[in-house]
Chains A and B, each alone.
Chain A
Amino acid sequence: MSDVVERTLSALPGLLGQHEPGAGPGGPGRASATSRLGGLIRSITALSSKHEEEKLIQQELTNLKATVSAPATTLRLMKECMVRLIYCEMLGYESSFGYIHAIKLAQQGNLLEKRVGYLAVSLFLHENHELLLLLVNTVVKDLQSTNLVEVCMALTVVSQIFPREMIPAVLPLIEDKLQHSKEIIRRKAVQALYKFYLIAPNQVQHIHDKFRKALCDRDVGVMAASLHIYLQMIKENSSGYKDLTESFVTILKQVVGGKLPIDFNYHSVPAPWLQIQLLRILGLLGKDDPRTSELMYDVLDESLRRAEINHNITYAILFECVQTIYTIHPKPDLLEKAAKCIGKFVLSPKINLKYLGLKALTYVIQQDPNLALQHQMTIIECLDHPDPIIKRETLELLYRITNGQNVTVIVQKMLDYLKQSKEEYTIINLVSKIAELAEKYAPANEWFIQTMNAVFSIGGDVMHPDIPNNFLRLLAEGFDDEKEDEQLRLYAVQSYLGLLEEEDAIYPQKFLQVMSWVLGEYSYLINHEGDPEVIMTRLHKLLKKTFVTSETKAWIMAAITKIASLNRGSKTIDKLIQEFSTSLDTCMRQYAFELKHLCEDKDLMKNLLPRDASCNDMVVDASLSFLDGFVAEGLSRGAAPYKPHHQRQEEKLSQEKALNFEPYGLSLSSSMSSSGFTGRQSPTGLSLGSDMSGNSTEMGQKEMSSLKLDGVKKLWGKDGYLPKKESKTGKEDKLEAVPPGSTLGGNMVDHPLSEADQEVVSPSEEEKEKQRLASTLFVGLASDSAVSLMGKADTTTQKFKRKSKISETQNSEEAPSIQHDATLSFRPLPEAQSNDNENIQSTEHVRLRKSSLSSSEVLEASISFKRPQSLTEARLDAKLPDYRLSPSSLFADNNIEVFQPSQVIPSVVASKASLIPSLSEELANNPHSEAVELCSCDTLAVNLCKVWTDDCLLLVLFVANRSSSALKNVNLVFENSEHFKIVEGLSYHFPVIKAQSLESCQKSVQMEKNCMQEILVGSLNYHLEMETGLEFSVTLSLTDFIRPMKITTEDFGKLWLSFSNDVKQNVKMSPSQGSLSIALNTLQQKLKLHVVDIVGNEGLVACQLLPSVPCLLHCRTHAGMLALWLRSPCSALPDSLLYQCQKVMEET
């Protein structure tokens, strides 16, 4: 790299006179600087002011515009114009008049001109640009060219920008290129398919086999290109590609072992880009999967070992390696090596490596807190590093090791950093972290309020709206200790009054809103020591400040109204009413009048604004039934009936339809339908904003609080570092934390070999200062050294532990897994309650089964759960921790995967004729699949039969007991899937399955989210001597949910015009399919479609996706191709169905 870097240039203008840039040592194809472009560049460089430049470029653009639009302009000249246009655009001048000419040049020019045309297109247009459609024909033509250079250019442009909806036009051509004899063409074809995969994954689903071929290509470049696709696919669904792990491992082994052509070396390191890509893929595959991880330990070890040259590129590989090792299922000796490696980064004098060291530490710190201790002195140094990015990353690291003892120091460091940073993104990010830490670990009320004050002052109006919402909710809902709550509120009130006392201080709107709300709700707490008049005067003053927005004024008014309700007449109130009754701001005027009327009727006011009732439930008559009389009267006087917003919108749209946009197809209609959707989704009618003044803000607040109860995101494993146990009192902890020296010593004992330890030997003053900081920062980490990798269960040392509305015991004991259920229970009470119990009960079933309780106890336990808060719970509590803390129950997936369905021995099956599943007669009349075995073991076997009834998909599951004893309490549980909904609920309970007998259950399934094919996972749990679980999966495809739709040709015509989403594609027909009728027959049989009509070589076909989404097909045969045209009101359906059609046609 040396000579490139070292060479310097003198100032540009001076050089331009003598130096002819094309005159270098024979570089190929250098353009002469005397060209027109050269002239332009030179004259621009000679100019001194931005203004002159602008004048010159505008002149140039005018000339160019005239030239490109003149009919006599040759393509050669056009090419030159394009280059100059690119230059003008780069300088920031718009030249859109030339875009169309760039497309023309790509279309008409010879190779050279075409090359520039394509380049200009790729630089000028983005993938949603409308002109891009005009490029499609050119691309199609060039892809079919016999000239390889043209094919390459077309593929290059397709890989960069291509209109999504036109993919079908080029897809077959590009697929063909995968078999091309030249590797560069194959490589670019793979790259183009990768692009398609990114923008329209459904369109390339059918060519997954070809990706596999590309992965095995004899050319390294082609194989490497296919890895892009694999990385992406594995990111989205790692379980689908586990079988490829060994292939990836083998490739990586070959690369690391130097088996690739020497061309791929980079600074004598073999194919580093390839290595990193593979490492990343392996990380994704091995994550949470011990068996897959096992396969890659060796190669990871080798990669670490081989990367030893001291060059950036080896560090890049090492970094990726470390990340992979910490991502996959851990192996101790690899972790040890990786940790050493991180040490190399952190201690490196090179700043880039140090940065990555910190980044790696941040990544691994949850798993390995000791590493932070080893490097504590380096971390401290980085905290004061002159480069802000190093500081920033250090804070990120500290954020992850925060606990109740070091929180004040860390938050202080973060606030210091924020004071220097002006960057909005940093502020938003850091402020949320501070708020989260403060809420989680606050050591004292004062500290908490002050920290939040800083958050609101700095975060101002850019911070996430959840922060003030969470804060207010925390204040309002309080914690377990009523006295604590009151103190916190009191302190907040005092603190805000202090802040408002300063005359000229300007606070962000959000902060003022928070203050107003708190003062309105809780200022009564200081009534014995302060005068409400003072508070009202301060709020009144705020109302007159110009920087206060009208939204904030509404909050302030609400606060004043609330305070007024608690006090008898006040001068400030009178003055305020007078002042704002004539305000030009209509909202303020309304508030003033409302306040006036309320003040006149104290009883009403007290009723309306009860003290400290922000958490009470409120009944709102959302149907506005009290207006019924008014409405009836209006109607009787001949008023038009009210139409909701969406109805009006629809009517408007259908009127517009009269103009008929249909022939324009794709883009127009789809944009129309999407606008229709947004209209429908917008909330209707009911506006709370104009409601009663005092309550409007309060109500909004309340709504938020009941909706978002799952609170602030918890970062994984953080609580794992808390050294405290719940039994310890806060006081003891604080005592521990106070003497810095002693804790430091304590830390060191655990790590006699740590780096920091050696530095301690001769401490200077500065060193001592750093060590003091270290001891406050890293306190609480040392005692954690024994923590297992799995982390601890949620032992809470939080000061502010949220009160939750469902019974306390349940909530805390089931912290990790049942959180989801907890959020559910905040729906309107009655039905939610029962639902909830069911959920909890079923979860409990599974969980209890894993524990080693005897079965009778289990039964009892599960019954007891049906009675919330029953006494038996206390007894359960004592038993639950046993398994709650064991890793297996927290990582249930790992646990289950151990159970491998063993193969059935045929002879055994034969002897158990009674166990052969058969459908009831009623069901057997419907179309259905053969019974398939899903899983089995010595005791049990599960068979599945799909029954396609007219209105749903029925899964009939047969559970056969092969053993000689009866099985009790067998539970069948499906995992929740985003794609499917099981109508009867996810689980099924078989109380008893007799020996050598068969039981069955039915589940009807609906497709919730459109997909081609997805897997529904379930498990069967039972208890026999020891707990056992069998895992199985059912593959459901779109066709399971497709049913024929029987309509007439006339209806078809009407429906066809009303659907806006359509897709067209040509599908090859094999000779055996010959005619249209045979093809249609195939579709009818395989996909359960209904053939409506056949006219000549055109066919009309209709079907519906259950429950009732129609999809229409128009088929036409043409020269051995079947042209399919699909339409539906659902946007994803035509795509998916087209894929199924393709598959069916290919199969036959």
Chain B
Amino acid sequence: MSVHMQFMLLFSRQGKLRLQKWYVPLSDKEKKKITRELVQTVLARKPKMCSFLEWRDLKIVYKRYASLYFCCAIEDQDNELITLEIIHRYVELLDKYFGSVCELDIIFNFEKAYFILDEFLLGGEVQETSKKNVLKAIEQADLLQEEAETPRSVLEEIGLT
């Protein structure tokens, strides 16, 4: 909310991309170019520096958690601080879901990380700000996994309340 995000990238200290979500239509070539440039720029920044960057006509907001960099692009008039908190809320969600998350969780279960992201941010806007609600939605979809063999009967019980 109050931020229209253009894209979000997660990459490691070694510059390896771990997650990418694009909220604006761009060609693959463009995406690769942006990713390469941004990873380079962000990794070159010193730890005490500002978490914001001007890049082309966009504002980049990034933060490092352990070995992972979370990096969002917003428009110039958007609120940088709240974007920083969006990143933080996402990390909290991952943490709660995986139970103290680490980079490996995201590497090996990136589709889960995407599912969580989609419940939190939709089309570049904050969809749900209640941590409880996001996790509830994810867990309920997950439950299906365990009961995959007999989906119908279970589903009718679950619903989404």
In the complex, the answer to whether B122 meets A160 with C-beta atoms within 8 Å is yes
In the complex, the answer to whether B81 meets A22 with C-beta atoms within 8 Å is no
In the complex, the answer to whether A119 meets B118 with C-beta atoms within 8 Å is yes
Query: Whole-angstrom distance between the alpha carbons of A3 and B92 in the complex?
Result: 10
Query: Whole-angstrom distance between the alpha carbons of A156 and B79 in the complex?
Result: 25
Name A273's contact: one of B23, B115, B126 (CB within 8 Å): B126
Min distance, Cβ B97 to any Cβ of chain A, angstroms: 7
Min distance, Cβ A143 to any Cβ of chain B, angstroms: 15
In the complex, the answer to whether B80 meets A352 with C-beta atoms within 8 Å is yes
Does A656 reach chain B (CB closer than 8 Å)?
A: no
In the complex, the answer to whether A159 meets B123 with C-beta atoms within 8 Å is yes
Min distance, Cβ B127 to any Cβ of chain A, angstroms: 6
In the complex, the answer to whether A86 meets B111 with C-beta atoms within 8 Å is yes
Knowing A9-B103, A119-B111, A276-B82, the reply to whether A271 touches B122 (Cβ < 8 A) is: no
Does A891 reach chain B (CB closer than 8 Å)?
A: no
Knowing A159-B122, A276-B1, the reply to whether A312 touches B81 (Cβ < 8 A) is: yes
Query: Whole-angstrom distance between the alpha carbons of A185 and B85 in the complex?
Result: 26
Return the chain B residue nearest A260 by Cβ. B130
Name A119's contact: one of B50, B66, B114 (CB within 8 Å): B114
In the complex, the answer to whether B123 meets A263 with C-beta atoms within 8 Å is no
Name B129's contact: one of A1, A38, A182, A274 (CB within 8 Å): A274
Collect the chain B residues with CB atoms within 8 Å of residue A315's CB.
81
Name A389's contact: one of B19, B54, B79 (CB within 8 Å): B54
Query: Whole-angstrom distance between the alpha carbons of A263 and B133 in the complex?
Result: 8
Interface of A is mostly: helix
Collect the chain B residues with CB atoms within 8 Å of residue A19's CB.
104
Does A426 reach chain B (CB closer than 8 Å)?
A: yes
Name B142's contact: one of A22, A29, A152, A277 (CB within 8 Å): A29
Knowing A152-B160, A221-B133, the reply to whether A12 touches B118 (Cβ < 8 A) is: no
In the complex, the answer to whether A319 meets B81 with C-beta atoms within 8 Å is yes
Collect the chain B residues with CB atoms within 8 Å of residue A389's CB.
49-50, 52-54
Interface residues of A in 434-457 (CB under 8 A from B): none
Min distance, Cβ A220 to any Cβ of chain B, angstroms: 8
Collect the chain B residues with CB atoms within 8 Å of residue A272's CB.
82, 85, 129
Collect the chain B residues with CB atoms within 8 Å of residue A221's CB.
128-130, 133
Knowing A4-B65, A119-B111, A119-B115, the reply to whether A90 touches B19 (Cβ < 8 A) is: yes
Q: How many residues of A contact B (CB 8 A)?
A: 96
Name A148's contact: one of B49, B139, B160 (CB within 8 Å): B160
Return the chain A residue nearest B129 by Cβ. A273
In the complex, the answer to whether A21 meets B1 with C-beta atoms within 8 Å is no
Name A316's contact: one of B51, B85, B160 (CB within 8 Å): B85
Name A224's contact: one of B52, B129, B146 (CB within 8 Å): B129
Return the chain B residue nearest A424 by Cβ. B56
The listed residue with most A CB atoms (<10 A of its CB), out of B20, B81, B101, B112, is B81
The listed residue with most B CB atoms (<10 A of its CB), out of A21, A29, A316, A425, is A29
Min distance, Cβ B43 to any Cβ of chain A, angstroms: 15
In the complex, the answer to whether A27 meets B66 with C-beta atoms within 8 Å is no
In the complex, the answer to whether A351 meets B1 with C-beta atoms within 8 Å is no
In the complex, the answer to whether B129 meets A264 with C-beta atoms within 8 Å is yes
In the complex, the answer to whether B131 meets A263 with C-beta atoms within 8 Å is yes
Min distance, Cβ A1064 to any Cβ of chain B, angstroms: 25
Knowing A27-B99, A273-B1, the reply to whether A90 touches B20 (Cβ < 8 A) is: yes
Collect the chain A residues with CB atoms within 8 Å of residue B85's CB.
266, 272, 312-313, 316
In the complex, the answer to whether B1 meets A149 with C-beta atoms within 8 Å is no
Interface residues of B in 81-130 (CB under 8 A from A): 81-82, 84-85, 88-89, 91-92, 95, 97-105, 107-112, 114-115, 118-119, 122-123, 125-130
Query: Whole-angstrom distance between the alpha carbons of A1019 and B19 in the complex?
Result: 57
Min distance, Cβ B7 to any Cβ of chain A, angstroms: 12
In the complex, the answer to whether B50 meets A355 with C-beta atoms within 8 Å is yes
Collect the chain A residues with CB atoms within 8 Å of residue B101's CB.
4
Interface residues of A in 12-62 (CB under 8 A from B): 12, 15, 19, 21-22, 24-31, 33, 37-38, 41
Min distance, Cβ A1099 to any Cβ of chain B, angstroms: 39
Does A216 reach chain B (CB closer than 8 Å)?
A: no
> What are 20 A-B contacts with C-beta separation under 8 Å?
A5-B66, A12-B103, A15-B104, A21-B107, A26-B99, A29-B112, A30-B108, A41-B108, A90-B18, A90-B20, A122-B118, A147-B155, A152-B137, A152-B141, A187-B127, A312-B84, A316-B84, A352-B51, A352-B80, A356-B81
- Given contact pairs A7-B100, A149-B160, A274-B129, a sample of 16 additional A-B residue pairs in the complex whose CB atoms are under 8 Å apart: A24-B100, A29-B112, A30-B108, A31-B109, A38-B108, A91-B17, A119-B115, A126-B22, A152-B141, A184-B133, A276-B1, A276-B2, A319-B79, A355-B50, A356-B81, A386-B46
**A residues whose Cβ falls under 8 Å from a Cβ of B:** 1, 3-9, 12, 15, 19, 21-22, 24-31, 33, 37-38, 41, 83, 86-87, 90-92, 94, 110-112, 115-116, 119, 122-123, 126-128, 147-149, 152, 156, 159-160, 182, 184-185, 187-188, 191, 194-195, 220-221, 224-225, 227-228, 231, 261, 263-264, 266, 271-274, 276-277, 279-280, 312-313, 315-316, 319-320, 351-352, 354-356, 386-387, 389-390, 392, 423, 425-426
**B residues whose Cβ falls under 8 Å from a Cβ of A:** 1-2, 12, 14, 17-23, 25-26, 28, 32, 35, 46, 48-57, 65-67, 79-82, 84-85, 88-89, 91-92, 95, 97-105, 107-112, 114-115, 118-119, 122-123, 125-133, 137, 139-142, 144-146, 148, 151, 155, 158-161
Q: Give the 5 A-B residue pairs with the shortest CB-CB distance, closest first.
A: A316-B81, A126-B25, A273-B1, A21-B104, A276-B2
